[in-house]
Amino acid sequence: MRLDVVTIFPEYLDPLNVSLVGKARARGQLDVRVHDLRAWTYDRHNTVDDTPYGGGPGMVMKTEPWGDALDSVLADGYEAGSHAPALIVPTPSGRPFTQELAVELSERPWLVFTPARYEGIDRRVIDEYATRMPVYEVSIGDYVLAGGEAAVLVVTEAVARLLPGVLGNAESHRDDSFAPGAMANLLEGPVYTKPPEWRGREIPDVLLSGHHGKIARWRRDEALRRTAANRPDLIETCDPKAFDKKDREM
């Protein structure tokens, strides 16, 4: 998968060299290219923003640097043989970024991110590229960040771990909170590892029982308990047929 990021803070994306994403890059599973938007400014001050039409606080990112930057990144990508780019625009006004959307994006060959600072990018830029490629305006949560770069890190990590061969154990995202399947829309319950006792705290007996059926039942109960406590809204979205008599007694 190819990823391009155009930003005024290229160093903000340095964490893409670390851990899972960094290893995927080193192995050639991810081709990440970070570009400085100011490379496409031609005035002495490398201006990327201006005052908003209609008035109001803050500044708006200008059309010309974004247009020139995206044209150049896209042309370079096509030359390198990349196809079917999608534009990912992080914004608090976007659709919620979910595991389902992460799966959809992980199936695309090429993502181009446009993290903005200030009040956002002149709308004409997004409208222009939407005529050429799918555009995903995404929000990573109901809060306002100072810019979209942190959202790029979030989306990239969620997508990269879904790529074939990136996670050591392909099974390990099967039970993720929000993974599709029998536990759809339940949060994952607690997990434990050695030693069996720590500061007087023991492992739940059932996990040492070797009884797979009982362990599965316990995990499901814990998932339900945690979901009811932390995300009661998710219980509402579960298929009622997915609950059995014991669930309903909880």
Residue sitting closest to ligand ADE (CB): 90
Q: Is 140 in the site for ligand ADE (CB under 6 A)?
A: yes
Q: Rank residues 109 and 141 by Cβ distance to ligand ADE and give the closer one.
A: 141
104 in catalytic set:
no
Intra-chain end-to-end CA distance of the chain, in Å: 44
Which listed range, 15-23, 99-107, 138-146, 156-164, lies at the site for ligand ADE (CB under 6 A)? 138-146
Q: Which of 103, 145, 167, 228 binds ligand ADE (CB under 6 A)?
A: 145
**155 near 87, Cβ under 8 Å?**
no
27 in catalytic set:
no
CB under 8 Å to 41, separation ≥6 — which residues? 47, 48, 65
**136 near 86, Cβ under 8 Å?**
yes
Q: Is 85 in the site for ligand ADE (CB under 6 A)?
A: no
Q: Which of 58, 96, 109, 141 binds ligand ADE (CB under 6 A)?
A: 141
Interaction residues for ligand ADE, span 175-234 (CB under 6 A): none
92 in catalytic set:
yes
Q: Is 156 in the site for ligand ADE (CB under 6 A)?
A: no
Q: What is the largest CA-CA distance in the chain?
A: 71
**159 near 106, Cβ under 8 Å?**
yes
Neighbours of 120 (CB within 10 A): 20
Q: Where would I find the beta strands (DSSP E) of 62-211?
A: 85-96, 110-113, 135-139, 197-198, 201-202
Q: How far is the CB of 184 from ligand ADE (least distance, A)?
A: 24
Q: How far is the CB of 148 from ligand ADE (least distance, A)?
A: 4
Do the strands 110-113 and 85-96 form a parallel or antiparallel pair, or are they unpaired?
parallel
Q: Rank residues 150 and 228 by Cβ distance to ligand ADE and give the closer one.
A: 150
201 in catalytic set:
no
Q: How far is the CB of 103 from ligand ADE (least distance, A)?
A: 19
Q: Is 42 in the site for ligand ADE (CB under 6 A)?
A: no
d(CA 25, CA 31): 6
Token readout for 206 is: 């059932």
Token readout for 190 is: 């607690």
DSSP 8-state secondary structure symbol assigned to residue 8 = S
Q: Is 84 in the site for ligand ADE (CB under 6 A)?
A: no
The residues annotated with a catalytic role in the active site are 92, 119, 161, 176
Q: Which positions lie near ligand ADE, rule CB under 6 A? A: 90-92, 139-141, 143-145, 148, 151
